[in-house]
Amino acid sequence: MKKALPFLLSPAPKDYLWGGTRLKSEYGKQSNTKLLAETWECSTHPDGQSIVSSGQFQGLSLGEVLKIHPEYLGTHSKGNLPILIKFIDANSDLSIQVHPDDYYAKKNEDDQLGKAELWYILHADKNAKIIYGFQRKIDKKQLEYALTTNAIEKYLQYIPVKKDDVYFIEPGLVHAIGAGIVIVEIQESSNLTYRLFDYNRHDQNGNKRELHIKKALDVINLDNITEPKQPMRLLNYFKGYASELLCRCKYFKVERILLNTERYSNMADFCTGRSSFQVLLCIKGCGVLFGENIMINFFKGDCIFIPSQSVSLKLHGQAQMLNIGC
């Protein structure tokens, strides 16, 4: 069987009202809108598909390519791309929200996936914070009353964040990204978000943004009052690069790669014969990915899809990347 070749992806842009300009100015993202809130870098979700921007499939959506070559997904995906990868620029506070798990979503949302997600902090302004669960016990009646009186914020746990922090957001956890934070989000392939509170903001048509109180109360975990801990991280050193595991769960695996091959003519094999796909997301620097019949120059902000059973690949350059798979 002919070995598959990796290819670059271009994202689907989202211009939500809380977005900023950092994704354009710092990560080279393109959009016709003034503000850019999210870019869906690797996605086959119908609400925003990424487009192949190099190689023989250039111009096709990632979903179209995977219909032609389902074997690119490998053995762990069960026929569908199970993840969605985003850049998010929160210029102002996001809504206070919660996500359902797979069971609830499949039963109540037309057999969709739920939404577990990982946040990797790329930038945080001084005093920037996220919301992560509750700071004290609260029951459903108290929560309902707090929502009707705009008093929900006093119950929430605010966590200061900094660059390079990692947070796992499980289904049922009340959460929000605060103003002044840029992240990479790795999540299940889902767009299910239940808003509890949105600071009484209005959309571009002057209407209050929709809330989803009933569904949120169905799925919310009222017992989570634990401050999140950073995962234990250990750098493993190889010729020309180092790697560290950020997260391994039933939904995805995420590693950070620190590439520095200035003292080497090339690098040892990066991936050979992997049984599932991988996605490389460059978050700093630049370099080149090369192998038999393939060479891809990549820069900060670029996303590369590596099919299962890819040709042997090497990396060269000075860069930091997230390596994401299942």
Q: Which residues are catalytic?
A: 195
Among 238, 242, 248, which residue's Cα sits nearest to residue 321?
242
Residue 174's SS3 state is coil
The phi, psi pair for 132, rounded to 5°, reads: -140, 90
Residue 215's SS3 state is helix
Beta strands in the chain (DSSP E): 7-10, 12-14, 38-42, 51-52, 83-90, 96-98, 117-124, 129-134, 156-160, 166-169, 175-177, 181-188, 194-197, 236-238, 241-248, 253-260, 278-291, 294-299, 303-306, 313-325
The torsion angle over the Cα atoms of residues 204, 113, 247 and 64, rounded to 10 degrees, is -80
Strand partners, 206: none
270 within 8 A of 262, measured Cβ to Cβ:
no
Tokens of 110: 């037309």
One-letter amino acid at 284 equals K
Residue in the block written with tokens 């460059």: 282
Burial 119-156 (b: 16+ CB within 10 A, else e): bbbbbbeeebbbbbbbeeebeeeebeebbeeeebeebb
Residue in the block written with tokens 């009933």: 214
How far is the CA of 69 from the CAs of 45, 73, 88, 202, in angstroms?
17, 8, 29, 43
